Amino acid sequence: MSGPPLETEVQDAPFHITLNDPEKESRSMNAFRLASCVVSLAFMLGLLATAPARAGEVYLSLGDSVAFGYDPSDPNYLTPSHGDQGYVKPFADTLGAMNGGVRPTVLNLAIPGEQSTSFFDPKNLSPTGPPRAWELNLNYAGTNGMVSQNDLMLSEIMNLPASDHITAVSLIFGANDIFAVLGSDAYKNGDAATKLALISGAISTALHNYGVVLTELQQVAPGAHVYLPGYYNPFPEAYDPTDHALYDLVLSYFNPNLTALAHQFGATYVDTYSLFVGHELEFTNIATGDFHPNALGYAAIGAALSSAAVPEPSSVISLALGIAGAAVVARRRTLAA
């Protein structure tokens, strides 16, 4: 898949990158935006609470450890679960509030360590990336890890009861493809041009695989609203400028292309990059050497997904007024009778 070129200056040993970083916001502005988002979301959900409930809704989460809700700061993070955690939990809560208080069934098939290639074939996993920890997800119990996330997705959708249907899907993968490249001998021993080509190739592969999954979802879950969270940069620029620059380079290519892909397939891209700028130490476990979000980080991503799912205020108000108007008419008819 084509995308904006990775225009940058790269030098060998140490790996140095110079690029135009996205515009950075101050901590106070980020905090203000997050608080405003929460307040607006609460207001809109309050209006939506009058909407009639629909039974049988299912929220499907797909992807890697971020989609599963992997958080090493949680003492129970290695305890197998069905994945109703991380950003999935608050997003499912919001979907429930939008559905008259009836929370959707959560089907989280994400696997920590999943690469975009192993999503379709567990054997197609680069050994230089993180391990594929399928055993943490109880939805794979009894499979010996040999059932792909893609096959389980198709099987679960096909075997849904007639009364159930997929209404929301979130999908995020690709980071482990990059980690696999960075851990390879080809990258470690390559010159600047080789390193850049390897990174670009991994990103293109991940984006292509997004397209495959999105095409499948259009066929097997045509009524579902698909959300594509982008990736954030976990490295604070002031503390780790080299890794910060490297991941900014990757995301300057990955996130815009994912946005374009979302538009192409009628999905919704959800920006997480800007949420984490200036909050890397607060929202992730990077201070202890782990890039995953902590509870605050997952809450921020959940709020961003929720904000993307809730209709614009004008639409919500129109819906609420319409429901109220219908109630008034029904009441008048009852009194007239």
- pLDDT, mean of residues 92-113: 97
pTM here? Answer: 0.80
CB-CB neighbours of 109 under 10 Å = 25
DSSP letter (8 states) at residue 147: S
pLDDT tens for each residue of 157-175:
999 999 999 999 999 999 9
Decide: 186 and 78 in contact? Cβ < 8 Å. Answer: no
Q: 64 vs 3, 68, 101, 157, 333, CA distance in Å?
A: 23, 6, 29, 19, 54
Q: 330 vs 104, 120, 125, 252, 326, CA distance in Å?
A: 29, 52, 59, 54, 6
pLDDT at position 139 over 80: yes
User: Does 242 or 4 have the greater pLDDT score?
Assistant: 242
Distance CA 55, CA 172 (A): 27
pLDDT at position 66 over 50: yes
Decide: 95 and 57 in contact? Cβ < 8 Å. Answer: yes
pLDDT tens for each residue of 221-248:
999 999 999 999 999 999 999 999 999 9
pLDDT tens for each residue of 9-35:
333 323 232 233 333 444 444 444 554
**pLDDT of res. 34:** 54
pLDDT band at 313 (very low <50, low <70, confident <90, very high): low
**Which CATH architecture does the domain made up of 22-336 adopt?**
3-Layer(aba) Sandwich (3.40)
Distance CA 62, CA 230 (A): 13
pLDDT at position 97 over 90: yes
Strand 225-229 and strand 16-18: the pairing is unpaired
Provide the mean pLDDT of the chain.
84
**pLDDT of res. 311:** 77
Indicate the domain borders of the chain: 22-336
What residues contact residue 215 under an 8 Å CB cut-off, 6+ apart? 265
**pLDDT of res. 55:** 67
